[in-house]
Structure 1
Amino acid sequence: MLSKGLYIRPPVIPVPEAPEQIQKPSFLQGWFGDTRPLHSVEIANVYKGMELAGLIHAICTAFAQTMERKDLQSLCTQGAQTAVEHLERLGGLLERDDLPLPPSLLSDVSGSQTPLFSERLMLCHISGLFGSLITHYGQALGSAMKHDVVAAFLALIAGAGNYTEDVTEALIRNEWLEKTPGALDRESLLEHPK
């Protein structure tokens, strides 16, 4: 895969010669003053977030090309733009430390406008992908130790959540979203006896 250019290596960092203890509280800073480069876990999480956002960008673009209804096409275009905003925010974190960015998958999207899937299935896929992105950001947030990285993940979670709400509303409007089984509403049962 490497020789064919199909496998792109993630960022590489130098192997430490010995363990190093954190000396200053500035290790946590990221906005002002004495800031440090990203550590390996932050790099891995930012890079993985970019890979997932890049996949979402390509899929939303492809789905937008094949949607027949303009309102759903617009929703897919909005998803692609949201993914681009995530790529820019995360890419800035890597570029600041002179680390490589993952390649764009947009060139893999053909020019076809023939729908291969139902609009319902496409929206469900988009919703699931954004859900995966939010899950990844939540996990990444737990291991981030710089203020600016924490702030970036929090902002990205909010942005992805806002977009996912729009997709969910479209699924509800079209009666494409099945209700997940849940706990009984005991108060309602008591208010309406047999």
Structure 2
Amino acid sequence: MQGDLNSRLTSSEISVIWSSCQNNSLSICVLQYFLANVDDDDVKYVLEFALDISQNNLNISKSILEKDHRQIPVAFTNEDVNPTAPRLYSDAFYLYYLKNMAKVGLSVYGVALATAAQSDVRNFLSQAIQTSTDLYNKVTDVLLSKGLFVKPPYVSASNEIDFIDKKSYLGGVLNINNRPLNVIEITHIQINIETNTVGEILIAGLSQVAKSKKVREYCLRGSEIAKKHIQVFASLLTNNSLPAPMPWDLEVTESTISPFSDKLIMFHASLLIQSSISNYSTASAASLRNDISTSYVRLTAESAQYAKDGLNLMIKHEWMEQPPQVPNHKGLARG
């Protein structure tokens, strides 16, 4: 009996493997479309590398679920992508998209590994972390070679060791006579500028190709929210006499022919907002200035409401696949 228990997947293992099936199937659809519309050979190489990673991750995830006699999610298939649709984004956007994809992979798989017990799950997650690292490095090399890599601001920091000895270091909720930003706060602000910029461009493109009016409106709203959040973060840097470097050459064409199903578009938007909320929570905890942490809380609340509205839209159209859950024992007993 003990051996049987040790061979079963735990709830956290089912969660990450089930989500991996969904997320990697989405990535396959997106990357197939990108590859059909890429010009630069260097960009094509990293897109192909990312596609191989997603296909391998999907195959392993399915085999782990099958081994445990678990239902494999429907997720996304060839019916959700039209690779022959005209180009919607620039080659530069593909690179920034892949960079963000690699960062999300490192975060998600890293957290999941710390909760995994099964050896095959741990092996998969360890491999996924390594391939996400490889993808990040390859994309970064290409971005650097093309002069597109966005570096955080340089600062003239003191080399002396010091300790915080005044509560005023935390500042107030109003941006009045607050101390300068520290390097930890700058790092998180820059990360959130870049991820919001990539998200804003992605969802702006999707807003002009989505078939449903409600989905188009939802994407337009998300694009405006991202723009506003970028302005908030950029002002934190400029108010401290620091530049607010942002990704550039992220073009959206005039195409109105959708490469993706509305179901995929909404799920993709959902993933973006989940990532933003996670980033904001981490940044808020790491930011010692009260006005900055308060801004993150406010922006998180706005993002959460946007996510909820998207979830309701997905449920209305039956696009939201239900994750595995505990059986309803009370309902079974009454039945």
TM-score (normalised: structure 2): 0.54
Task: Map 1:27-176; keep pairs closer than 5 Å.
Answer: 27-30=169-172, 31=174, 34-105=177-248, 107-176=250-319
Q: Distance in 2 between matches of 1:124 and 1:102?
A: 29
- What amino acid sits opposite 2:153 in the alignment? P
Higher deviation after alignment, 103-112 or 61-70? 103-112
Deviation string 1:73-102 (CA, Å, 9 cap, x unpaired) is 111101101111111211221111122223
RMSD: 1.8
Distance change (3 Å), C-alpha of 1:106 and 1:70: farther
In the aligned structure 2, how far is the partner of 1:61 from the partner of 1:51? 15
Identify which of structures 1 and 2 has the higher relative contact order when contacts are C-alpha pairs closer than 8 Å and 6+ apart.
Answer: 1
Contact 2:273 2:307 in 1 (8 A): yes
- The letter for the 1-side match of 2:244 is L
Query: How high is the TM-score relative to the length of structure 1?
Result: 0.91
Q: Confirm whether residue 181 of structure 1 aligns to residue 317 of structure 2.
A: no
What is the CA deviation profile of residues 148-186 of structure 1, one whole-angstrom value per residue up to 9, with x for unaligned ones? 001100001001101111111111011000111122333
Q: Provide the C-alpha distance between the structure 1 equivalents of 2:212 and 2:175, rounded to a whole number of angstroms.
A: 47
1:55, 1:105 within 8 Å by CA — same for their partners in 2? Answer: no
Q: Is the 8 A contact 1:58 1:105 kept in 2?
A: no
Distance apart, 1:41 and its partner CA: 0.7
- Identity rate of aligned residues, in percent? 27
Segments of 4+ moved more than 6 angstroms: none
- The match for 2:168 among 26, 29, 50 is 26
Higher helix share: 2
Tell me, in whole angstroms, the C-alpha distance in 2 between the residues paired with 1:5 and 1:175.
44
1:16 counterpart letter in structure 2: S
For 1:16, which of 158, 161, 179 is the aligned residue?
Answer: 158
Specify every segment of 5 or more residues in structure 2 that has no aligned partner in the other structure, as ranges: 1-142
Q: Is contact 1:130–1:160 with CA below 8 Å preserved after alignment?
A: yes
8 A contact 2:193–2:246 mirrored in 1: no
Q: Aligned equivalents of 1:70 and 1:16: distance in 2?
A: 54
Number of residue pairs matched?
192
- CA drift of 1:16 comes to 2.1
Q: Equivalents in 2 of 1:32, 1:111: separation in Å? A: 40
Distance in 1, Cα, partners of 2:309 & 2:249: 23
Deviation at residue 10 of structure 1 after TM alignment: 1.1
Greater Cα shift, 30-39 or 91-100: 30-39
Whole-angstrom CA distance in 2 between matches of 1:106 and 1:186: 55
Q: Matched residues in 2 for 1:151 and 1:15: separation?
A: 25
